[in-house]
Structure 1
């Protein structure tokens, strides 16, 4: 089974999307799924003292503007082992532009975690969580010398995130892989 191509995304993306976690919360290691094999590949160790503030992965059967599956950060109490499938409710996102072009980061909550399952919109999340996510994406490439190549846009809410997910699913279905 290939994690990008063989995990079905149901029709009701407002309830949840399956999210394949590549990087556990708290990690300094940046893993990516190797597209040909479906195995995890170590991309790099983060250069700065920051760590991933949430479990980080992708939504299967999607194709984002950067050529990869659509990224998702899943908020929950515990770090998750890489290649675990987590059911996440999308709440919103943020648009980054880096050296590879546009790169949306979907923000969701694990619907199977009682501490987060009740959140329905990004506006309901504690403001500190949103500041942490924003700061992580502003800082994590600075010591690589790429900080000036990263533009972090404003957070967006539920209506726009659903459009982004649908567009990335349509791109995947058109064969943009």
Structure 2
């Protein structure tokens, strides 16, 4: 989503660079080393497009043509991390929210689905099972295999359980029932315990099938279209 402030910043930056280069050329003056104008070629200038400066992972990244079954996920937290990263909605950057209070780490990569909206005013949360940790800010393709109903301090905060669609070890999974029981117990226990030392209550219900996950994603896509897209078009 391109904000007016970003447009002004880009225009001001480009005018300033062009002005410096023009003055140097017209006057025939050699700028001092401290004030030497950069030699910008067309490739560099084209990379400073307004889209690249203002791209927002929640709003600008496509959800994917196969959604709600297979979809893009922006990773916020790496598998094995104790750092709770999250999307800063205003800037689109990934920020550090806190360090987990308990001696636990995220059991899998964790992120959100772009162009979705849930009842907590956040995009849909996803836990993505795969072999390797993924850097925060990267996106990947995932397939929904189940839904974990969760209540966080009295508010609905369900999580989609998914597998990386391009990981040869995990992409064949299509149903959460196919996962080893210990893997499911590990995921459930993490979310039940990770806020206990903050004196915050989290309740996790029984895992639901892929159809429930797909329905939840479709609902979040519809909410986004109704509320977010409608407001952007005004």
Distance 1:94 1:114 in 2: 24
What does the per-residue CA deviation read over 1:143-164, in whole Å, with 9 as the maximum and x for residues that have no partner?
A: 1111xx2111111111111110
Runs of 4+ with deviation above 4 angstroms: none
Considering fraction of residues, name the structure with more helix. Answer: 2
Q: Which runs of 5+ in 2 are unaligned?
A: 1-54, 230-234
Computed over aligned residues only, the root mean square deviation of the Cα atoms, in angstroms, reads 1.3
Partner of 1:98: 152
Considering fraction of residues, name the structure with more strand. Answer: 1
Q: How many residues align?
A: 175
1:87 is paired with a residue whose SS is strand
Matched, 1:162 2:207: no
Distance 1:109 1:14 in 2: 14
Matched, 1:115 2:169: yes
Structure scoring higher RCO (CA < 8 A, sep ≥ 6) equals: 1
What does the per-residue CA deviation read over 1:111-141, in whole Å, with 9 as the maximum and x for residues that have no partner?
A: 1111101111111111111111000000000
Whether the aligned pair in 2 keeps the contact of 1:66 and 1:100 (CA below 8 Å) is no
Relative to 1, partners in 2 of residues 1:14 and 1:119: Cα closer, same or farther, differing over 3 Å? farther
Whether the aligned pair in 1 keeps the contact of 2:85 and 2:94 (CA below 8 Å) is yes
Q: Which runs of 5+ in 1 are unaligned?
A: none
Displacement of 1:99: 2.2
Higher CA-based Rg = 2
What does the per-residue CA deviation read over 1:33-78, in whole Å, with 9 as the maximum and x for residues that have no partner?
A: 1001001111100000110000000000001121110000000000
Distance 1:150 1:21 in 2: 22
Displacement of 1:100: 6.1
